[in-house]
Structure 1
Amino acid sequence: MVSGQDHGVPDGGLHPDGSPLTGPTDAQEEGFPQDQAAAMDALRERNHALVQALNRAGKELTKAKTQLAQMASPPMNLALALGVDSVSFDEMGVQHANLEVLYGSRRMVLALAPGVRADRVRPGQTLLLDENMVVVQVRDQAGSGPLRQVSRIMDSGALVVQDTSGASSLVERSGALMDTDLSVGNQVMVDPSGQMALARVPEEDRNDLVLEEVPDVTFADIGGLDRQIDRIRDAIQLPFLHKDLFRRFALNPPKGLLLYGPPGNGKTMIAKAVANSLARGSGTRGVFLSVKGPELLNKFVGESERLMRRIFERARQRAGQGGPVIVFIDEMDSLLRTRGSGISSDVETTIVPQFLAELDGVEALDNVMVIGASNRIDMIDPAVLRPGRLDVKVRIDRPGREAAASILSRYVTSDLPLAAGTSGGDLVQVLVRDVYRQDPGRKVCDLLDQDGRWNPLYMSQLISGAMLRNIVDRAKTMAVKDSIRQDREVGLDADRCLKAVQEEYLDMLDSVGDQNPEQWARTAGLTAGRVSDIRLVDRAGAES
């Protein structure tokens, strides 16, 4: 084997990067015979290829070693910083520090790695420990944890806090709370072991949940739901307004009412109309406490339950003043979801029992009616729907032709600027005919059922009261814009109404989009479990 440059190449045959030299070092120009020169050139090319292969192999080996080291590295642990125990520096200026930490429920003193500055560690921060239990990194403090209420502030700054059961404990303040003004009654987040208060939690304003004025919505404002309204009157108005008769006949008024069905069909309006009718009928000032289910969900352990208690506490307080109180919980399926479903963050395991405890009357709920609204009754915990709880259930469905005409007549009235020779009733019929026609011009999509059949879905099968109102508002906006453009009042006419229906239809096509077929079908109020695929309509063709 040739010994030059470790690869069998004479000295001077390669650049430092391994590439072959050219020019004056070429074999022929050095005076070698032609056959030897060719052999030398071939050796140089081969050597260059070998060097490149070795470089690639070296890089791959380094990468593999790094990955292997990562896979073989031991797990690291997390701890809570309580404070600096001691700090010193040797003659070389290297830091030697120990930290007092909380590791699980154990208080320990651990060494701090030289590269981590002790003066930047604050109580309450999260610490990363290596396999030797040395602190190698300081992180921000945790952003979630159990909640406690401050019941006393010690002279030292430590806090006496209480949990939801009323049990007290003494906790230290984190560095983030050192300069924070706290008072009795404040909510603080503590670490999982309950030994340190990490952060103050802003109080939810209970007044944000209360509408002190009686809602101005009446049953007369709601169109197309006469049958449902009659049932609601029997279930709610009669027990409130004729209490003596109900006592005589030993009838217990229902505690709650559930309004369910596809979105946009008047569930919230009905709840407000109920509050209005009860207040007017009793001659007192009623109260409407409205809250959306997601607003009660909170990342802090126990906070959702506390808010639920405060809502019912507020309801009892207002009811004690003699007036009826409606507690309206919208999107109830997001709050009182079936326990153990695994869909949410398991907050339902505590919030559902808390709601049931309030509803079942740990304290009397006189003059208080709970009304829930949901698009997905199938997701509400069955215990909530048992008799004696939300046992009155009224489905608020999509409007048919007659109901749609009744709804539209609330928004297309004779006092509006109408085109000459046009009446409000005429425009209502124009709108109903166009919305409810079932032809390719109003087809939204095709649905594949579980039997393998494609079935057309039309605009009329997805229409809601909210959409009907939106169509009228679109037509009115067109008339307003034309009036401004032409510098004269332009009346509402059939052409503008038809254009408004077309715009709503195109928006409906966009809303279907690329969604999970079964989930979309359930939300839209279609037959559950029967939709396995969706075939969209060509929007370009629909616009033409």
Structure 2
Amino acid sequence: MSEFDSGSGQGRRGFVRDVMRRISSGPRSGAEGDPDRDPQQPYRDEIEDLPDAIRFVGGDSAEFRRRLDRVLAEYDALRRRHELARQQISDAERQNEKLVNVLQEAKQQVELLKEEVDKLCAPPNTYGIFTRGNKDGTVEILVDGKPMRVNVHPNLDVFQLEEGQLVVLNEAFNVVEPSGFTARGEIGHIVDFLGDNRAIVLGHTDEEKVVTLATPLRREKLKAGDNVLLDPRTNFAFEKLPKSAVEEVVLEEIPDVTYEKIGGLGEQIQILRDSIELPYIHPEVFLEHKLSPPKGILLYGPPGCGKTLIAKAVANSLAKSIEKRTGRATPAYFLNVKGPELLNKYVGETEHKIREVFKKAREKANEDVPVVIFFDEMDSLFRMRGSGISSDMEATVVAQFLSEIDGVESLKNVIVIGASNRQDLIDPAVLRPGRLDLKVKVHRPDAAAAKEIFSKYLTTDLPFHADSAARYGSDPSRIADGMIEDTIREMYATNEENKFLEVTYAKGEREIFYFKDFSSGAMIENIVARAKKKAVKRMIDHGERGLQLSDLLEAVREEFKENEDLPNTTNPDDWARISGRKGERIINVRTLMTGINRTERSIENISSGQYL
């Protein structure tokens, strides 16, 4: 057993092998030579040694098992560490990729910021205007009006640059890039041309200067009187602009209004035709009698009575008369000058616009066509000088108008027509003969004139109600005439229901006015329009088709009711002049609305304050 205890592991394994070999090979060789020895003894000895060998081998197997378990455990730990290391390597690779991308983006941002910083730190570029090129490759430019000779970038073709074109300059004032043309500046008025590339231009201060026409402008069909875009620093004209400087206050049109469309003004129309059309139809007769046609006409009267319509009809009829005499189509021009909009707060601007109006009329008249200049609300433009209102600014306006209308003598196709409902405020120099030669008063329509006006709006082609046919007959003309007559009878009746105003004069006398005393063509047109709306609404709501007398009568009462506030002013005398009730001074106006549920009301005369 000592062999087993003291031997090494290698010896024990050898011993086990020897025992197993002896068992398998049989008894030992010494037993064969000793006859006294028991032949089974060797086997018994081997069997006795066998438990020790088994114990020895069992202890070695346990050691092997423990070592194997330890190795397996170490293997698992190493395998886990290997997997963890491989995962860490993969994460590190992904993190590196992200860092590379971030670094690339940061690099790009740094480059962009560097470009922005370079742009912000770069010196500013100046603009100049190209005038011409030189044989040595240099060019002539204008910088703030100063001429300079500079070089050009090698990549630019000088021959493609146009005179007047903007060019970009570097810090050395050399041309590095072409640009467009100036789009801002002042408005200039061409007076005359100096060759193909220069012109005499009138500026906004009426100062003449010689300017150079830019190359694109030379391709336009320019003529004297055209407006151009002007750069006052370089004296270059770049663009053709709308011609008239007063387009916003002058309406140029070919009117289609004829005398047949105007009702109730037959006397006034005849006066105008005799005074205006006859000199154009029979010029030889007037020349034989050394009679000149009138230069101007004043239409005055209450509002809404047809003054503007007459002025438009004059232009249309004049064109037709000339066409009839000459045998060729002749257009008519009607320059409608809106008086209040012509006024300007800047000194001299109103006078300038008046000059532009007459200049435009002269240009049209030179085409041998009739031109009518219509000044609406003439009292707002040409007030009496010396009144002390608005610092007497109308003094120069009136003087400008007088000089222009006196200059119309040389023109044979221009008629000046003014309209006003306060002709007493117009300067007497404007109204004197030789300027506004003819003065025509447009009255308020009486019953006969009202019937004629009604017939222009209440025509036979309108649908009429069945009750109207039963009342007036089936003929549409009889129905229209009957409804008009009954409406006028109600409208112009001097009964208690139609009383409108009681006027007290300075001497204490009183006078009653009825609604008929304040009727007008515009009011009659509005009455018919109201009646038509009632018929339309009845057709939509109840299916009853056509106009009837009750529609017109209700429209009359509603129109009267809406006009009951006409005298609502602090100065009855001024209101009386506007309404056409001139005469003795009025000190009080009292409304008499007996036909409508309204209380009586008096309006006292209050003195107005002083205007600055």
TM-score (norm 2): 0.56
- 1:507 equivalent in structure 2: 562
- 2:384 equivalent in structure 1: 338
Q: State whether residues 278 and 324 of structure 1, in contact with CA within 8 Å, keep that contact through their aligned partners in structure 2.
A: yes
Q: State whether residues 222 and 269 of structure 1, in contact with CA within 8 Å, keep that contact through their aligned partners in structure 2.
A: yes
Which of 333, 351, 365 is matched with 1:287 structurally? Answer: 333
Task: Give the SS at the match of 2:410.
Answer: coil
Task: Give the SS at the match of 2:297.
Answer: strand
Which of 284, 288, 306 is matched with 1:244 structurally? Answer: 284
- 2:36 equivalent in structure 1: none
1:247 deviates by: 1.2
1:451 deviates by: 1.6
Q: Tell me how far apart the structure 2 counterparts of residues 514 and 185 of structure 1 sit (CA, whole Å).
A: 52
> 1:204-283 alignment to 2 at 5 Å?
205-283=245-323
Q: Tell me how far apart the structure 2 counterparts of residues 404 and 528 of structure 1 sit (CA, whole Å).
A: 24
Which of 414, 425, 428 is matched with 1:382 structurally? Answer: 428
Deviates more, 1:344-353 or 1:320-329: 344-353
**AA at the equivalent of 2:416:** V
Q: Tell me how far apart the structure 2 counterparts of residues 466 and 151 of structure 1 sit (CA, whole Å).
A: 41
Task: Determine if the alignment matches structure 1 residue 532 to structure 2 residue 578.
Answer: no
1:301 deviates by: 0.6
**AA at the equivalent of 2:439:** K
1:434 deviates by: 1.3
- 2:407 equivalent in structure 1: 361
> 1:68-467 alignment to 2 at 5 Å?
166=207, 183-184=229-230, 205-283=245-323, 284-361=330-407, 364-420=410-466, 421=469, 422=472, 423-467=479-523
Change (3 A) 1:429 1:495: same
Change (3 A) 1:184 1:451: same
Task: Give the SS at the match of 2:334.
Answer: strand
**AA at the equivalent of 1:275:** A
- 2:193 equivalent in structure 1: none
Q: State whether residues 444 and 519 of structure 2, in contact with CA within 8 Å, keep that contact through their aligned partners in structure 1.
A: yes
1:514 deviates by: 4.2
1:418 deviates by: 1.1
Q: State whether residues 344 and 350 of structure 2, in contact with CA within 8 Å, keep that contact through their aligned partners in structure 1.
A: yes
- 2:536 equivalent in structure 1: 480
Task: Give the SS at the match of 1:509.
Answer: coil
Change (3 A) 1:412 1:502: same
Query: Per-residue displacement from partner, 1:430-471 (whole Å, max 9, x unpaired)?
Result: 111111111221112211111213321110111111101111
1:511 deviates by: 2.7
Q: Tell me how far apart the structure 2 counterparts of residues 519 and 204 of structure 1 sit (CA, whole Å).
A: 37
Q: State whether residues 210 and 287 of structure 1, in contact with CA within 8 Å, keep that contact through their aligned partners in structure 2.
A: no
- 1:498 equivalent in structure 2: 553
Q: State whether residues 212 and 287 of structure 1, in contact with CA within 8 Å, keep that contact through their aligned partners in structure 2.
A: yes
Q: State whether residues 214 and 279 of structure 1, in contact with CA within 8 Å, keep that contact through their aligned partners in structure 2.
A: no
**AA at the equivalent of 1:400:** D
Q: Tell me how far apart the structure 2 counterparts of residues 540 and 204 of structure 1 sit (CA, whole Å).
A: 53
Query: Per-residue displacement from partner, 1:25-50 (whole Å, max 9, x unpaired)?
Result: xxxxxxxxxxxxxxxxxxxxxxxxxx
Change (3 A) 1:151 1:512: closer
TM-score (norm 1): 0.62
Task: Give the SS at the match of 1:232.
Answer: helix
Query: Per-residue displacement from partner, 1:54-84 (whole Å, max 9, x unpaired)?
Result: xxxxxxxxxxxxxxxxxxxxxxxxxxxxxxx
**Runs of 5+ in structure 1 lacking a partner?**
1-147, 153-159, 169-181, 187-201
Q: Tell me how far apart the structure 2 counterparts of residues 185 and 151 of structure 1 sit (CA, whole Å).
A: 13
Task: Give the SS at the match of 1:398.
Answer: coil
Change (3 A) 1:396 1:530: same
Query: Per-residue displacement from partner, 1:323-365 (whole Å, max 9, x unpaired)?
Result: 1000000100111111011234422111101001110017732
Task: Give the SS at the match of 2:452.
Answer: helix
1:208 deviates by: 4.1
Task: Give the SS at the match of 1:245.
Answer: helix
Q: State whether residues 316 and 365 of structure 1, in contact with CA within 8 Å, keep that contact through their aligned partners in structure 2.
A: yes
- 1:139 equivalent in structure 2: none
Change (3 A) 1:273 1:489: farther
Q: Tell me how far apart the structure 2 counterparts of residues 161 and 225 of structure 1 sit (CA, whole Å).
A: 45
Q: Tell me how far apart the structure 1 counterparts of residues 501 and 408 of structure 2 sit (CA, whole Å).
A: 50
Change (3 A) 1:418 1:236: same
Change (3 A) 1:185 1:315: farther
Q: State whether residues 445 and 456 of structure 1, in contact with CA within 8 Å, keep that contact through their aligned partners in structure 2.
A: yes
Q: Tell me how far apart the structure 1 counterparts of residues 400 and 363 of structure 2 sit (CA, whole Å).
A: 19
**Runs of 5+ in structure 2 lacking a partner?**
1-185, 191-200, 210-227, 233-241, 324-329, 473-478, 600-612
Q: State whether residues 513 and 536 of structure 1, in contact with CA within 8 Å, keep that contact through their aligned partners in structure 2.
A: no
Q: State whether residues 292 and 329 of structure 1, in contact with CA within 8 Å, keep that contact through their aligned partners in structure 2.
A: yes
Q: State whether residues 427 and 494 of structure 1, in contact with CA within 8 Å, keep that contact through their aligned partners in structure 2.
A: yes
Instruction: Please give the root-mean-square deviation of Cα atoms over the aligned residues, in Å.
Output: 2.7
Query: Per-residue displacement from partner, 1:95-121 (whole Å, max 9, x unpaired)?
Result: xxxxxxxxxxxxxxxxxxxxxxxxxxx
Change (3 A) 1:450 1:165: same
Query: Per-residue displacement from partner, 1:200-219 (whole Å, max 9, x unpaired)?
Result: xx998534455554211100
Q: Tell me how far apart the structure 1 counterparts of residues 491 and 595 of structure 2 sit (CA, whole Å).
A: 20
Q: Tell me how far apart the structure 2 counterparts of residues 369 and 151 of structure 1 sit (CA, whole Å).
A: 25
Q: Tell me how far apart the structure 2 counterparts of residues 363 and 280 of structure 1 sit (CA, whole Å).
A: 23
1:150 deviates by: 7.2
Q: Tell me how far apart the structure 1 counterparts of residues 408 and 555 of structure 2 sit (CA, whole Å).
A: 52
Change (3 A) 1:346 1:531: same
Deviates more, 1:416-425 or 1:461-470: 416-425
Change (3 A) 1:250 1:446: same
Query: Per-residue displacement from partner, 1:443-500 (whole Å, max 9, x unpaired)?
Result: 12211111213321110111111101111111111101111112x3521111111100
Q: Tell me how far apart the structure 1 counterparts of residues 244 and 501 of structure 2 sit (CA, whole Å).
A: 44
Change (3 A) 1:434 1:242: same
Q: State whether residues 444 and 508 of structure 1, in contact with CA within 8 Å, keep that contact through their aligned partners in structure 2.
A: no
Change (3 A) 1:151 1:308: closer
Task: Give the SS at the match of 1:233.
Answer: helix
